[in-house]
Structure 1
Amino acid sequence: MGFVFAALSLNGTSPGAMPVPPRKRAQKLHIAGSTTMGPLLKEIAAKYHLLHPEVAVDVELGGSARGLEDVRAGHAHIAMLSRALAPSERDLYGIPIARDGVGVVVHANNPLRELNAEQLQAIFTGRVQGWQEFGGKRDAIYALGGLRDGASSALFARFLKQPLDAFSLNAAVESNIERLAVVAACENAIAYVSVGSAERAISQGVSVRLLPISGIAASSANIRNGSYPICRALTLASRDAPSGVARSFFAFCLSAQVNGILSAFDFVPYLD
């Protein structure tokens, strides 16, 4: 009799035994494209994998154009684009998942209240070098920017309608946090930074102020409603309407579960 019960137990059919659920089939999802979105998508993919351990998500950087090429050629399931789909790309299925924006900060004691695109162009190309041109003190402007190959620099240059070669900076600093620290320590400084980074720094008491651009406040709220001029959509695109794992991943990227990750990267959720 003991032998019978042992055999039943080995076969998983002993009385009271818990049934073992079938193991889900392993699946892969390949995502390629924007270097701006790459670090963000790697974090999102890691969280998605925790919830769906049977899905291996590979994120490959190479630029938005490369991502589109890979999706069209069938080498990737999803492309990352640090912009909206162009009219010529409407054959693809695209969903914006976030927005990012670039703001201009000065020291909290700077009397300047706002700037327009023409004034910003004059400052960051070096045509104007003193604050007295804008009603301030007779002090030299100390202009800070990001690295030339950074996404913030590209977006800011596009807004000013200037090539990056035309920029004349006193210093190029990679990190938003470091740029904000310099402006907080130097009353003559001005810098372009992530709006989200600046808002967080201001809330923590850092002595900087975001300037309105042509009367429009640089804020996450205005990035969200589309009124702030220096912003762009961050988009995921696929060759066809997504299905299966790709559809599940798209939905996850649009859910509130990723809002904390978006905020950590200073992006604004596309949907409220």
Structure 2
Amino acid sequence: MPRLSLNRYLSALSVMLLVATTASIPQAAERKLVLTGSSTLAPLVAEIGKRFEQENPGVRVDVQSGGSSRGIADARSGLADIGLVSRALKPDEQDLKSFTIALDGITLIVHKDNPVQTLTDPQIVDIYTGKITRWRAVGGADRPITVVNKAEGRSTLELFLHHFQLKSGDITAHVVIGENQQGIKTVAGNTSAIGYVSIGTAEYEVSQGVPIKLLPMAGVDASVENVRNGRFPLARPLNLVTKAESEGLVRQFIDFSRSERVHDLVEAQYFVPLAH
């Protein structure tokens, strides 16, 4: 009987420990942040997240890409604590709160061996609408142009269309890509290709030896410095967005991401940090 009683006691103790462990899970979950959205913003936020985790033991920051539209949708639905949106909020998105953490520009890229050094806005429009189909027409080699376009739901596409006063249906594309890295890889592997991506991402890839070059727009060189000084014509804010007034861990992360403590991370990604 004493042995049986001891076994029952140990069994009951095991159940109590299991219940106690299970009860602690929600508290652990509260120390996790989920951020989804812009592929332009995701690599930067992932680096900010790593530093935030180091300074806040027990916190996990989960960053996922998928486009700015996903960032908006996930923030609204609660699937994400914070959405990543590489543009300003639209009029029908004013139910969300946005917090700019950096600035970026968008520019056209071609293979570094392409002899074309610049394109006018009308030439860009004609290339993307299929009126110009060979590089020879704009001073390049006699070869067909491979037009690389962004997929629907990407803020880079929306800004490109708005700047050139085009509609998505106007574009004649040969390749449709999602993330900046896909666009850069496509152009780097095709001397006839043209695409448009984040200036910050493109400048970084050039520094790493990737064979692309950035084309100027409206006579202004595509560079982070010209985004910084306000000269580049196609610039955008990189935003964190939330469904409601942020508080607790969410607010702490947003404030951290907007502080001078991450300026080195912003600049390392070739974006423009906020002025303080």
Shorter chain as normaliser: what TM range?
0.5 to 0.7
For structure 1, which runs of at least 5 residues remain unmatched after alignment?
A: 1-24
Residues 179 and 270 (structure 1), Cα distance of their counterparts in 2 relative to 1, 3 Å cut: farther
Aligned residue in 2 for 1:34: 37
1:210: how far off?
A: 1.5
Residues 172 and 258 (structure 1), Cα distance of their counterparts in 2 relative to 1, 3 Å cut: same
1:53 to 41, 57, 60: 57
Residues 29 and 137 (structure 1), Cα distance of their counterparts in 2 relative to 1, 3 Å cut: closer
Aligned residue in 2 for 1:100: 104
1:170-220 CA-to-partner distances (Å, cap 9, x unmatched) read 33455144124224xx2x432223322332343345543311111121111
Aligned residue in 1 for 2:199: 195
Q: For 2:72 and 2:250, how far apart are their aligned partners in 1? A: 20
Percent identity (aligned): 32
Equivalent residue of 1:112, what SS? coil
1:179 to 182, 186, 200: 186
Instruction: Tell me whether 1:232 sits opposite 2:239 in the alignment.
Output: no
Is this contact kept in 2: 1:40–1:265, CA < 8 A?
A: yes
1:170 to 152, 171, 174: 174
Instruction: Tell me whether 1:128 sits opposite 2:95 in the alignment.
Output: no
Which one is further off, 209-218 or 248-257? 248-257
Aligned residue in 2 for 1:119: 123
Q: For 1:131 and 1:271, how far apart are their aligned partners in 2? A: 41
1:120: how far off?
A: 1.0
What is the count of residue pairs matched by the alignment?
241
Residues 147 and 85 (structure 1), Cα distance of their counterparts in 2 relative to 1, 3 Å cut: closer
Aligned residue in 2 for 1:63: 70
Q: For 1:195 and 1:126, how far apart are their aligned partners in 2? A: 25
Q: For 2:81 and 2:49, how far apart are their aligned partners in 1? A: 14
Aligned residue in 2 for 1:213: 217
Instruction: Tell me whether 1:250 sits opposite 2:224 in the alignment.
Output: no
1:152 to 156, 179, 183: 156
Q: For 2:31 and 2:207, how far apart are their aligned partners in 1? A: 41
Is this contact kept in 1: 2:187–2:194, CA < 8 A?
A: no
1:132: how far off?
A: 3.5
1:251-271 CA-to-partner distances (Å, cap 9, x unmatched) read 211235445654676644344
Instruction: Tell me whether 1:142 sits opposite 2:152 in the alignment.
Output: no
Is this contact kept in 1: 2:72–2:241, CA < 8 A?
A: no
Equivalent residue of 1:250, what SS? helix
For structure 2, which runs of at least 5 residues remain unmatched after alignment?
A: 1-26
Q: For 1:247 and 1:173, how far apart are their aligned partners in 2? A: 33
1:222: how far off?
A: 1.9
Q: For 1:70 and 1:247, how far apart are their aligned partners in 2? A: 18
Q: For 1:58 and 1:201, how far apart are their aligned partners in 2? A: 24
Equivalent residue of 2:173, what SS? coil
Equivalent residue of 1:113, what SS? coil
1:48: how far off?
A: 1.2
Residues 169 and 79 (structure 1), Cα distance of their counterparts in 2 relative to 1, 3 Å cut: closer
1:58-106 CA-to-partner distances (Å, cap 9, x unmatched) read 66777243255357xxx87644433224567678653200233322123
